[in-house]
Amino acid sequence: NIERAERLQKLPPYLFQELDRLRDQVRARGVDIIDLGVGDPDQPTPPHIIEALNAAAQDPRTHKYPAYSGLSRFREVAADWYKRRFDVDLIPNQEVITLIGSKEGLAHFPLAFVNPGDVVLTPSPAYPVYKGSTILAGGVPVEMPLRKENGFLPDLAAMDPALLQKAKVMVINYPNNPTAACADLEFYERVAALAKKHEIIVVSDAAYTEMAYDGYRPPSFMQVAGAREVGIEFHSLSKTYNMTGWRIGFAVGNAQLVAGLGQVKSQIDSGAFDAVQLAGITALTASQDCVAQMNKLYAGRREVLVKGLQGLGLEVERPKATFYVWCGVPAGQTSTDFCRKLLEEAGVVSTPGVGFGSAGEGYVRFALTVDEARLQEAVDRLAGLGL
C-alpha cells in the first residue's frame, strides 16, 4: 500500500511548484525569463568564507559525525554575535543550537512542542514552512492576518481571547517575508506580554535582520523583557552571506525550547557539517563589509524596481529591509492571474501573494535577485503590458 500518510494529504498544495512548472514551460518557448520569484541571492558567497570551508574540509576531524547541537565554538560565536549585534546575553551550550539552515529548525520545532490538535498561530501571508511543519506535527495552524493598515503586523489587540487561550505557539517573522514589513521593540514587548499572559510559546523568525537599508538596524525579539521565558528565535546565515546552499543557521532563546528542539534533532538528523560550521564562524567573526556591500547593491536595485513599479501606477512601498518588494495587484485580478500574466506576456517571474496564505491575496512579491539593468528591463516589459 503506497498511499501517502494522512498528514501529507492534509498539507496545502505547493503553489510554488506549479509556478516553476509554468516558468519552465514559458522558457521552453524560447522566452528570455527574468526571474524575480525565489528569494535566493544571485551573488556568490564571499571568498574568505569559501576559503575557510576549504581549509576546514582538509582537517579529518571535520569528516566525523558532528555533535547534534553543533560545535561548541560555533555556538559561542553565535552567542557573541548576538551580544555584539543586539546586546543580548546567551549561554552558548544551553541557549544556542546550530541548525542545518533555519528552515530545518523551524520545521522540526513543532515536533518538539505541538501535540495533535494544538493551535499554532501563523502569520498570513508567511513563509509556508510554519504552516506545513505544524500540520506535519498534527497541529492546527490558525492564520493571523497581516494587513496593510496595521503595518503588516498581527493585530494583537483584536485577537480572540478564546483562540489565544487555546494557542500553544505563535510565529512572528520580522523583517517579514513576503511583505518586507518591520517590527519595533514596542511590538515585541506586546508579543512577549501576550505570550506570558496566555502561556504561548513565541517562535521568532529573524532570517532577514541583516538585510536592511538606509542605516536601519532591525531589532531582535530577544531584546525585550520576558522574551527568554517564552521564546526562541531562528537565525540564518543564508541571506546575509549568500550561503543558502550551505545550510547553516542557528536558534537562540529559552533553554528548554532549545533543548526540546535538540532532542528532535538527535532522533532525525546528525547535525550540520563541522566544516560548514567552521566557515560560519568565519562569516560571523570576520569583517562585515561584505554584508554592507550586498545591502548597498540591493538598495540600488530596490530603487529601480520600486520607482519603476510606482511609475506604472502600482501600489508599492519602499522596503526598509529584506530583498522583497510587495506590490499591490491592480483591481479586478487575483494574484495568481496577475503573476501568470506577467510571466506569459512579459517573461517576468513573480510570486502570487495567495501562495503565502489567504491574506496575501491582492499582492505579488518580487525578489531583488537580478541586477539593475535586468530590473529596468522587467519594468519596461511590464510598461508594455499597459497594466
Q: Which positions touch ligand PLP (CB under 6 A)?
A: 39, 101-103, 127, 173, 177, 205, 207, 236, 238, 244, 249
**Between 247 and 377, whose beta carbon lies closer to ligand PLP?**
247
**Between 203 and 375, whose beta carbon lies closer to ligand PLP?**
203
**Between 81 and 127, whose beta carbon lies closer to ligand PLP?**
127
**Between 254 and 351, whose beta carbon lies closer to ligand PLP?**
351
DSSP 178-218: TT-----HHHHHHHHHHHHHHT-EEEEE-TTTT-B-TT---
Q: Which amino acid, 12? A: P
Q: Map grid coordinates 568564507 to a residue.
A: 49
Count the Cβ atoms, other than its own, within 10 Å of residue 190: 16
**Between 36 and 346, whose beta carbon lies closer to ligand PLP?**
36
Q: List C-alpha distances in Å: 251 to 89, 90, 103, 308.
A: 14, 11, 11, 38
- The least distance separating ligand PLP from the CB of residue 328, rounded to whole angstroms, comes to 21
What is the rounded (10 degree) CA torsion for 304, 334, 205, 266? -130
- The least distance separating ligand PLP from the CB of residue 63, rounded to whole angstroms, comes to 24
- The least distance separating ligand PLP from the CB of residue 161, rounded to whole angstroms, comes to 28
**Between 247 and 301, whose beta carbon lies closer to ligand PLP?**
247
Q: Which amino acid, 363? A: Y
Task: Identify which of 314, 341, 370 has the alpha carbon closest to the alpha carbon of residue 39.
Answer: 370
- The least distance separating ligand PLP from the CB of residue 217, rounded to whole angstroms, comes to 18
Beta bridge partners, 169, equal 120, 201
- The least distance separating ligand PLP from the CB of residue 351, rounded to whole angstroms, comes to 11
Q: Map grid coordinates 550561503 to a residue.
A: 243
- The least distance separating ligand PLP from the CB of residue 60, rounded to whole angstroms, comes to 28
Q: Where are the alpha helices (DSSP H) in 222-359?
A: 227-230, 255-268, 274-285, 289-311, 335-346
**Edge-to-edge strands of the sheet including 231-236?**
96-99, 249-253, 231-236, 201-205, 167-173, 119-124, 140-145
- The least distance separating ligand PLP from the CB of residue 165, rounded to whole angstroms, comes to 27
**Between 122 and 173, whose beta carbon lies closer to ligand PLP?**
173
Distance in angstroms (rounded) separating the CA atoms of residues 374 and 100:
33
